[in-house]
Structure 1
């Protein structure tokens, strides 16, 4: 059989764009492996028809999902588009080499359109008025959530890197909702300690910071009065590139930390939760 490679039209637009983000979600990584397999089969003689058909159907189904989600989700605001575009254009490795950032950063750390809209709807659905964002990066998720806050609502964003804090602040100023955001610069655990006894407590908390500290963030929120009695915690990267359900020997340090976090939360009788297979995993937690 002559194997027909799936057309580019089914692939993610980002995958064919110069300087595109590398795949960092289970779906994106799986698509990359499938594309490599398709390319190899195209060079292999006498490929069984049923093998070629199943592989091509799997690639069509998986490669088309993210673009379809993007098309079917409410468009982001112009201000969020600007944050995404500026983040993608920034030479993050050069900034680290120049000593401008305190740690290596990359454009893939951006939450992005579909996740941003999900967070925005969570804020609307929960009626949150006070939000804590643990790990801001360039501010996409913070501004997405701030757009859903009422006029008198506010969001406290924790960020350890002065360069990205300034980067985000300059973009917040372009948005009518940017004034709702207060940036707290410093290590996340230190900032949480400083915010302890914050009154009134936060209605909604988004965690997307140091993966190895996730359990500590979670415990701090539940053991202090930072989280409102009926508050929610939303946690990013809880699938961590699929490493959390891969063999333990294949996990990175961060992948192992997230796997331990997921187990810790699942065993905690104080909360109930659901892990959504959105992007790199998004867990929504409620105190019971």
Structure 2
């Protein structure tokens, strides 16, 4: 699915499968003309184009799409969220959607406990620099703190802070560690939500009948579209994360089969 589902052409629609056309239709039907800032931030297309120019298409697909951005913005509004933690900044698309949604919630850019409303962690100084430039162009730089470094160490520095939404979109093999740290350190606010991205990637779903933790000799389904054996370790790790969360008595999860899979995780009462 294209990054810009809301601007598909007639050729895109005619060549789309039934599922793809449904996604295009749903994306266009989700663009609300009565919200300010708008559903799709005005600079988001430029962010994607610049990411492609700098890093190529294969890297640019790491960015969330417009439709996913609108979904995450809707969740910010639904929860009345005021603070967001991102683990994985990339070039800033998701933070721009989050910041616009916080503005719609009436959240000011005033720091809380020394941090802006959105704290975004990334290990790459190069991506962080690009993201900061994109935040300036989008007019939301005063809403986002980009913290560069190992996410585990950065999370340790954030203990004592609480967030209404936590977005996991970084090292897939570390999702479980991030998840446990957030819960055990009480970083998720009461009624908050963890959004985990890419939880049903093509190299995760072949593990559907494999028990977790995955045995060394386990054999996932042999499917024609899962053609990247070098990604098997990431697929295994995400499958184990999915099963861990599904069986975790502290939380409830629902996975949406959109894009490459989005898991919405909330803590159960008394956790």
Q: Which has the higher helix share?
A: 1
Q: Is the 8 A contact 1:11 1:63 kept in 2?
A: no
Task: Give the secondary-structure state (helix, strand or coil) at the position aligned to 1:274.
Answer: strand
Once the two structures are TM-superposed, the CA of residue 8 in structure 1 deviates from its matched residue by: 6.3
Q: Is the 8 A contact 1:143 1:178 kept in 2?
A: no
Once the two structures are TM-superposed, the CA of residue 172 in structure 1 deviates from its matched residue by: 0.4
Q: Is the 8 A contact 2:82 2:107 kept in 1?
A: no
Task: Give the secondary-structure state (helix, strand or coil) at the position aligned to 2:138.
Answer: coil
Residues 267-278 of structure 1: pairs in structure 2 closer than 5 A: 267-278=247-258
Q: Is the 8 A contact 2:51 2:91 kept in 1?
A: yes
Partners of 2:192 and 2:60 lie apart in 1 by 30
1:28 aligned partner: none
2:86 equivalent to 1:133: yes
Worse overlay, 168-177 or 258-267: 168-177
1:188 aligned partner: 151
Q: Normalising by structure 2, what TM-score?
A: 0.76
**In structure 2, do the counterparts of structure 1 residues 140 and 260 end up closer, same or farther at CA, with 3 Å as the change threshold?**
same
| Larger-Rg structure | 1
2:14 aligned partner: 10
Q: Is the 8 A contact 1:131 1:205 kept in 2?
A: yes
Partners of 2:48 and 2:27 lie apart in 1 by 14
1:16 aligned partner: none
Partners of 1:190 and 1:183 lie apart in 2 by 14
Partners of 2:12 and 2:51 lie apart in 1 by 25
The alignment's C-alpha RMSD in Å is 2.0
Once the two structures are TM-superposed, the CA of residue 228 in structure 1 deviates from its matched residue by: 1.2
1:285 aligned partner: 265
Q: Is the 8 A contact 2:30 2:70 kept in 1?
A: yes
Number of aligned residue pairs: give it. 222
2:51 equivalent to 1:82: no
1:72 aligned partner: 29
Runs of at least 4 residues off by over 6 Å:
none
Partners of 2:266 and 2:12 lie apart in 1 by 41
Partners of 2:65 and 2:155 lie apart in 1 by 25
Q: Is the 8 A contact 1:142 1:155 kept in 2?
A: yes
1:248 aligned partner: 220
Q: Is the 8 A contact 1:123 1:204 kept in 2?
A: yes
Q: Normalising by structure 1, what TM-score?
A: 0.72
The equivalent position to 1:203 in structure 2, one of 160, 164, 169, is 164
Once the two structures are TM-superposed, the CA of residue 126 in structure 1 deviates from its matched residue by: 0.5
